[in-house]
Homo-oligomer: A and B are copies of this chain.
């Protein structure tokens, strides 16, 4: 689908249900509520739905959102790469999606119409362009949604996926009345006490190998239970393993249930995380990948260390 076709689709659609992905993040929710508001400003009916409850953490995106009553005619998925990511509650929509707007190169083309821009830092960046072609003016609320999606998906403009376009869009979005500094504090700096506690314990127990080129962080069920941390609060914990400058591969071993470890691997440019995890039946991205291994903690650790020793690079 081209941008002009996408524009036409949006202009012609009505009574829209917008699907966001499960375990929702700033980009999928930013897209959902920005598109919903845009459609409503155009005089159309629209709702946003999700497999889970909308997280309180993102409540500023939907503070003035309300559910509309209408007979659904159009289903649009935003920032959804695969129907599996809709979650069980929205699974019934899997074969009924009229349009998908996404930025994942892995998009499985499940929708009747698909607009994918894999170079876009965030799906919200696609909407930013789309909205400039529509007969509607962005307002403060929409600007806040789009800014949040772009900022969160780029790690506040820190990651490799940040583009000049992302900066340009945010330069424009900042001219609206949005408290971007407060949003960024909420998204990037603020932590729950439980999260602080588990980070502290994790860092305390961090082990370093091969002249600090490899770090291993072990989170047993006991540690996790003691911290009181909820499942949703584990996001980003794996990246702590890369904090020490020399580390090229940071490995987090989280005990999901007795004797079953979820292994999260984060790497710097010297090491391919995806290839590393493939050795253990897992996969993922080049700098962030994962796998699952069952067995005795010490055996698993030795296996992983042996593999890590082969991939770290002497500088």
A interface with B by C-beta (< 8 Å): 151, 156-160, 162-165, 167-168, 170-172, 174-175, 180-182, 184-186, 188-193, 196, 199-200, 203-204, 206, 208, 212, 239, 242-245, 268-269
Contacts and interface: CB of A to CB of B under 8 A. Distances in A.
Contacts of A186: 245
Contacts of A268: 185
B162 A243 contact: no
10 contacts: A158-B181, A167-B167, A167-B171, A167-B174, A185-B268, A186-B245, A190-B244, A191-B244, A191-B245, A193-B212
A235 to B, nearest CB: 15
Closest 8 CB pairs of A and B: A167-B171, A164-B171, A160-B181, A158-B184, A167-B167, A190-B245, A168-B171, A157-B157
Contacts of A157: 151, 156-157, 170, 184
Q: How many copies does the complex hold?
A: 2
Contacts of A160: 181
A258 to B, nearest CB: 28
Contact of A243 (B168, B190, B204): B190
Nearest to A212: B193
A182 B196 CA distance: 26
B243 A196 contact: yes
Contact of A203 (B151, B196, B208): B196
A61 B9 CA distance: 49
Contacts of A159: 181, 184
Contacts of A242: 185, 189
A268 B189 CA distance: 12
Nearest to A203: B200
Nearest to A245: B190
A242 to B, nearest CB: 7
Nearest to A182: B269
A172 B167 CA distance: 9
Nearest to A175: B164
Given A156-B156, A165-B171, 19 more contacts: A157-B184, A158-B188, A160-B181, A162-B174, A162-B180, A163-B174, A164-B170, A164-B171, A164-B175, A167-B174, A168-B168, A171-B171, A189-B239, A189-B243, A191-B244, A191-B245, A193-B244, A199-B203, A200-B203
Nearest to A157: B157
Contacts of A171: 164-165, 167-168, 171
Nearest to A160: B181
A156 B191 CA distance: 19
Contacts of A184: 157-159
Nearest to A172: B164
A91 to B, nearest CB: 34
Contacts of A163: 174
A281 to B, nearest CB: 29
A196 to B, nearest CB: 5
